Amino acid sequence: MTPLERAEAKFGWKLVAPTILILGLLILYPLMYNVYLSFFDVQLNGYKTFVGFENYMKLLSNTDYYSAIGTTSLYLLGTVVGTTLLGLAMALLLKEPFKGRGLVNAAIMLPYVAPVISVVFGWQFLFDPISGVVNYLFVDVLGVWSERTNLIGNPDSALWVVVLFDIWKHAPIAYLLILSKLVSISGDQYEAAAIDGYGPVGRFFHVTLPELYFVLATVVLLRLIWNLNRFEDVYLLAPNVQTLPIFTYYQAFTGVIDQGLAAATSVIQLAVLSVFIWFYIKKIMKW
Amino acid sequence: MAAITLKNIIKSYDKTQVVKGIDLAIEDGEFVVLVGPSGCGKSTTLRMIAGLEQPTSGDIIIGDRVVNDIEPQDRNIAMVFQNYALYPHKSVKENIVFALRRLKVDNEEIERRLSEISEMLQLEELLDRKPADLSGGQRQRVAMGRAIIREADVFLFDEPLSNLDSKLRSHMRTEIGKIHNKFGRTSVYVTHDQVEAMTLADKVVVLHDGYIAQSGTPMEIYLNPTNIFVAQFIGSPSMNIIEGTLFNDYLDIDGYHLPREQLSNVVYQASIPDSGLKVKVGIRPDFFNDKAFFSETEAAFNFTNLTIDLIEPMGFDKEILFNLAGGSVKARLDLRSEIKRGGEIDLLVDLSRVLIFDYQTEQRL
């Protein structure tokens, strides 16, 4: 480094120091405190007893924990694949300008901007076993099912309702991200591919997909991070679906309250997520 | 290999007609250059041959098929785009062989053609690179390679050299000429550069405002333009247009009387009023010669005592400007002429090279 560069770097550190300090207080301190708590048996009155790795041992021998991991995996798979594919499909369909595209765009964005709590009640009403339209449609009109079922009441089917809800609510952001890249792909690449003998399908795989690679990878990454930590959508719509955040919440704040155990859960989750994101960014996004 | 025929091609966007009725026959193996100023419809015409645009009316025939409703991928054509349109995520090699992969050519054949083409275009060292790592000239060569390797029926070039600097441009122009000589494919080449048109073409088609202004061999177009637009568009520096009056015995330019019987390119038959016929006279700067170095022959006319307004030395040539019939006229002389600004000079003009055009319609008389 030249002296000038060194001075610049020093100045740069001075400029970002306040931000680092605030972020440190707001994020790093709770994070470290969480790691610290995970090694203690925490009483509600604040008394803490050091227990070493006991919380972790307890967690890893709990079958409910593994079932929560299984549920989370299914939830992630369903939501990430679903939102990405639906977003891609919508973006491809709505790429070319047409009359009224603004309105259609607004309609597509609506679920994303609507407050969770209001749309959750709407969805619960849709799936209501007695007066809900879903049961009416599938039982009375189409006759696919023989009897009315409480899809949200049963944890197995509730998982898929939650997945569906997430796809419906978050496909718009995938659509938006993909569309913004899609419209910037230069037309002459498609023309060159057409001249080279490739039809619409070939052009999609050889021009569109490679161009979308990074934006698709970004969508997948964002969806994974968001949904691994997603609490409110799942808990509000179907509290019986125990994904990891819900599981942690039940550990920490309901029944036999065990904050040490809950802390251990989130530490493991953070560690897994960090390793996963590091790998993903290095290998898939090639940063 | 295929001939191309365009029959009364019209192309409109909304209400604007861009191509206004083009009839053109391109023979098998012929190199045709479409040339004209921007907005003349040349690129649109090329894109219609490629199938990237649909003609509003008229027929396009490649070989023995009417291809109006055939998609570009099924026309067996190759094209070089102005900005090359390389696939940014594919290596140079994959860019070049992309079309062959579609055609399911076997790997051995692909490698054979690839090595032949990459040697010819000096791309051997670059095959593993991505387009972003190449210079403009290298990208241009990759685009050429991609087109050649197909061995397609028809080659289309859409201003392929316009993004290169002038030295590279003239080099690649020569290369394109060589490639055409080697493969002999039917080629259609669009450019606004009249030098490319002159040097490459078997046939030059000058387009103006959606119509064909003239088509013919480069020398026909150069020596016998049918209107002032073509006369001035082809040739550099462009043709001087001077006002004159045609009489039965002579052509009057600013008091100089050019004898009519020696104007062998003026074949005006209709009767001329006694007061004369106002015309525009076209003389290329190249057809003026310094009298000091040329003996006066029968067919030459001597413009005497011209005052030199400006001299532009170009190295071997020098261009001089002088005033004639109220307009500024340019002549190109060689380096031997010893002249200076404000001095006087006598210039000889070969009378058989003098053209006259109708004053109003600007068509040849």
Residues A211, B89: C-beta atoms closer than 8 Å: yes
Residue B339 and residue B263 share a domain: yes
B145 and B275: one domain?
Answer: no
Q: Is the pLDDT of residue B295 over 80?
A: no
Interfacial B residues in 38-67 facing A (CB < 8 Å) = 50-52
| One-letter amino acid of A152 | I
Which of A186, A195, A213 faces B77 most closely, judged by CB atoms?
A195
Q: Which residue is associated with the tokens 């051997």? A: B124
Say if the Cβ atoms of A202 and B102 lie within 8 Å.
yes
Q: What residues of A are in the B interface, CB distance below 8 Å?
A: 186, 188-189, 191-199, 202, 206-207, 210-211, 213
Q: How far apart are CA A150 and CA A148, in angstroms?
A: 7
Residue B95 above 70 pLDDT?
yes
Per-residue tokens: B209: 């405002």
Most confident option among A83-87, B234-238, B345-349: A83-87
How far, in Å, CA of B87 to CA of A205, rounded?
12
Helices assigned H by DSSP within B55-183:
92-102, 107-120, 136-148, 166-183
CA angle B256, B258, B263 (to 5 degrees): 155
**Residues B114 and B255 occupy one common structural domain:** no
B242 beta partners: B281
How many whole angstroms separate alpha carbon A188 and alpha carbon B81? 8
Beta-ladder partners of A40 = A50
* B15, two tokens: 């209400």
What is the rounded (10 degree) CA torsion for B178, B183, B188, B190? -30
Residue B90 clears pLDDT 70, i.e. is over it? yes
pLDDT tens readout for residues A93-118: 998 888 998 899 999 999 999 999 99
Residue B15, domain member (yes or no): yes
Of B174, B200, B233, the domain-final residue: B233
Same domain, B223 and B262: no
- pLDDT level of residue A201 (50, 70, 90 thresholds): very high
Residues B10 and B157 in one domain: yes
Tokens 């593994």 belong to: A66
Mean pLDDT of A252-280: 86
Q: For residue A124, give Cα distances in angstroms to A152, A160, A238, B46.
A: 8, 13, 9, 59
Q: How close, in Å, is residue B132 to chain A by CA atoms?
A: 14
Residues of B in contact with A212 (CB under 8 A): none
CA distance B74 to chain A (A): 6
Q: What is the mean pLDDT of residues A218-225?
A: 90
CB within 8 Å: A206 and B98: yes
Closest residue by Cα to residue B193 from B30, B32, B36, B19: B36
Q: How many CB pairs under 8 A join A and B?
A: 59
Mean pLDDT of A254-283: 87
How close B156 gets to chain A, by Cα (Å)?
10
Name the domain boundary from B210, B233, B256: B233
Q: Do A195 and B73 make contact, defined as CB atoms within 8 angstroms?
A: yes
B134 and B65 within one domain: yes
- Which tokens belong to A187? 């037309």
Task: Give the nearest partner residue to A188 out of B51, B73, B83, using CB atoms.
Answer: B83
CATH of the domain at B84: 3.40.50.300
Judged against a pLDDT cut of 80, whether residue B267 lies above it is answered with: no
Model ipTM? Answer: 0.83
pLDDT for position B100: 92
Confidence of residue B210 (pLDDT cuts 50, 70, 90): very high
Last residue of a domain, one of B187, B203, B233: B233
Report residue B284's pLDDT band, with 50, 70 and 90 as the boundaries: very high
Minimal CA separation from A196 to chain B, in Å? 5
Between CA A87 and CA A92 the distance in angstroms is 9
- Residue B180 and residue B290 in one domain: no
Q: What is the mean pLDDT of residues B74-85?
A: 92
pLDDT digits (tens, 9 = 90+) for B14-72: 889 999 999 999 999 999 999 999 989 999 999 999 999 999 999 999 998 999 999 99
pLDDT at B301: 87
Distance from the Cα of B297 to chain A's closest Cα (Å) equals 57
The Cα–Cα gap between B177 and B175 comes to 5
Say whether B95 sits in a helix, a strand or coil.
helix
Residue B52: its chain A contacts at CB < 8 A? 191, 194-195
Domains of chain A: residue spans and CATH: 19-284 (1.10.3720.10)
Total number of residues shown for chain B: 365
Contact indicator for B11, B17 with CB cutoff of 8 Å: yes
Please give the mean pLDDT across all residues of chain B: 91
Tell whether B70 and B201 lie within a shared domain. Answer: yes
Least confident segment among A21-25, A162-166, B264-268 = B264-268
* C-beta separation of B156 from B67 below 8 A: no
Q: Which residues on B lie below 8 Å from A202 (Cβ)?
A: 102
Q: Is B71 on the interface with A (CB under 8 A)?
A: yes
Q: Are residues B245 and B337 in the same domain?
A: yes
Separation in Å, CA B212 to CA A284, B19, B42, B76, B358: 54, 10, 10, 26, 19
Interchain proximity B98–A207, CB inside 8 Å: no
How many Å separate Cα B199 from the centre of its chain? 8
Task: Write the single-letter amino acid at B360.
Answer: Q
Q: What is the 3-state secondary structure (H, E, C) of chain A?
A: CCHHHHHHHHHHHHHHHHHHHHHHHHHHHHHHHHHHHCCEEECCCCCEEECCCHHHHHHHCCHHHHHHHHHHHHHHHHHHHHHHHHHHHHHHHCCCCCCCHHHHHHHHHHHHHCCHHHHHHHHHHHCCCCCCHHHHHHHHHCCCCCCCCCCCCCHHHHHHHHHHHHHHHHHHHHHHHHHHHHCCCCHHHHHHHHHCCCCHHHHHHHHHHHHHHHHHHHHHHHHHHHHHCCCHHHHHHCCCCCCHHHHHHHHHHCCCCCHHHHHHHHHHHHHHHHHHHHHHHHHHCCC
Among residues A206, A134, A128, A218, the alpha carbon closest in space to that of A176 is found at A218
The two structure tokens encoding residue A22: 């605030």
State residue A156's pLDDT score.
87
| Res. A148: pLDDT tops 90 | no
Smallest CA–CA distance, residue B194 to chain A, in Å, is 25
The long-range contacts involving B288-291, CB below 8 angstroms and separated by at least 24 positions, are B288/B331, B288/B332, B288/B333, B288/B347, B288/B348, B288/B349, B289/B333, B289/B347, B289/B348, B289/B349, B289/B350, B290/B333, B290/B334, B290/B336, B290/B337, B290/B339, B290/B345, B290/B346, B290/B347, B290/B348, B291/B345, B291/B346, B291/B347, B291/B348
B168 pLDDT higher than 90: no
Within 8 A of B73 by CB-CB distance, chain A residues are 194-199
Residue B227's pLDDT is 94
The closest of A101, A120, A102, A124 to A111, measured between CA atoms, is A120
**Is residue B38 included in any domain, yes or no?**
yes
To the nearest whole Å, the CA of A193 is away from the closest chain B CA by 8
Is pLDDT at A46 greater than 80 in this prediction? no
Residue A256 has pLDDT above 80, yes or no: no
CA-derived radius of gyration, chain A: 24
pLDDT above 70 (res B141): yes
Q: Of B42-51, B265-274, B328-337, give the range with the top mean pLDDT.
A: B42-51
Task: Among A225-229, A250-254, B211-215, B319-323, name the one with the lowest average pLDDT.
Answer: A250-254
Cβ atoms of A123 and A237 closer than 8 Å: yes
**In contact, A86 and A167? CB cutoff 8 Å:** yes
B18 and B88 in a single domain? The answer is yes
- Structure confidence at residue B69 (pLDDT): 92
Answer whether A192 sits within 8 Å of B86, measured CB to CB. Answer: yes
Residues of A in contact with B102 (CB under 8 A): 196-198, 202
Domain shared by B86 and B167, yes or no = yes
Of the ranges A185-194, B253-262, B289-298, which one carries the lowest mean pLDDT score?
Answer: B289-298
The answer to whether residue B1 scores a pLDDT higher than 70 is: no
Q: Is residue B167 part of a domain?
A: yes
Tokens in use for B201?
């073409």
Report whether B198 contacts B233 (CB < 8 A). Answer: no
Q: Which B positions 232-271 lie with beta carbon below 8 A of chain A?
A: none
B314 within a domain of the structure (yes/no): yes
Nearest to A191 among B52, B78, B90 (CB): B52
Q: How many residues does chain A have?
A: 287
Classify residue B194: in a domain, yes or no.
yes
Tell me which chain B residues have a C-beta less than 8 angstroms from the C-beta of A188: 81, 83, 85
The residue of chain B with its CA nearest to that of A196 is B99
Total count of domains within chain B: 2
Judged by CB atoms closer than 8 Å, whether chains meet at B51 and A213 is answered as: no
Say if B364 falls within a structural domain: no
Of B293, B194, B296, B291, the residue nearest B235 (C-alpha):
B194
Residue of chain A whose alpha carbon sits nearest to that of B151: A196
Q: In B215-277, which ranges are continuous DSSP H helix?
A: 218-223, 228-233
**High-pLDDT (> 90) share of chain B, %:** 69
Taking the C-alpha atoms of residue A119 and residue A164, their distance in angstroms, rounded to an integer, is 13
DSSP state, residue B234: S
Helix or strand (DSSP H, E) at B332: strand B327-334
Average pLDDT for A208-220: 93
Do B229 and B249 sit in the same domain of this protein? no
Residue B73, amino acid = Q
Tell me which residue of A234, A278, A279, A218 sits closest to A71, measured CA to CA: A234
Chain A residue with minimum CA distance to B103: A197
Lowest mean pLDDT among A56-65, B47-56, B266-275: B266-275
**Distance separating alpha carbons of residues B130 and B115, to the nearest angstrom:** 18
- In this structure, the dihedral spanned by the alpha carbons of residues B9, B77, B163 and B218, taken in order and rounded to 10 degrees, is -60
CA nearest to B149, candidates B80, B63, B91, B49: B80
- Give the confidence band of A277 by pLDDT, cuts at 50, 70, 90: confident
CB contact under 8 A, A202 and B146: no
Q: Rounded CA gap, B144 and B134, in Å?
A: 14
- State the CATH number of the domain containing residue B245: 2.40.50.140
B87, B130, B149, B155: best to mutate for the A interface, most A CBs within 10 A: B87
Residue B298: pLDDT over 80: no
Residue B99 is assigned to a structural domain of this protein: yes
What is the strand order of the sheet B250-253 is part of?
B256-259, B250-253, B240-246, B277-283, B355-358
* Residue B267 domain flag: yes
Expressed as residue numbers, the domain containing B344 is: 240-358
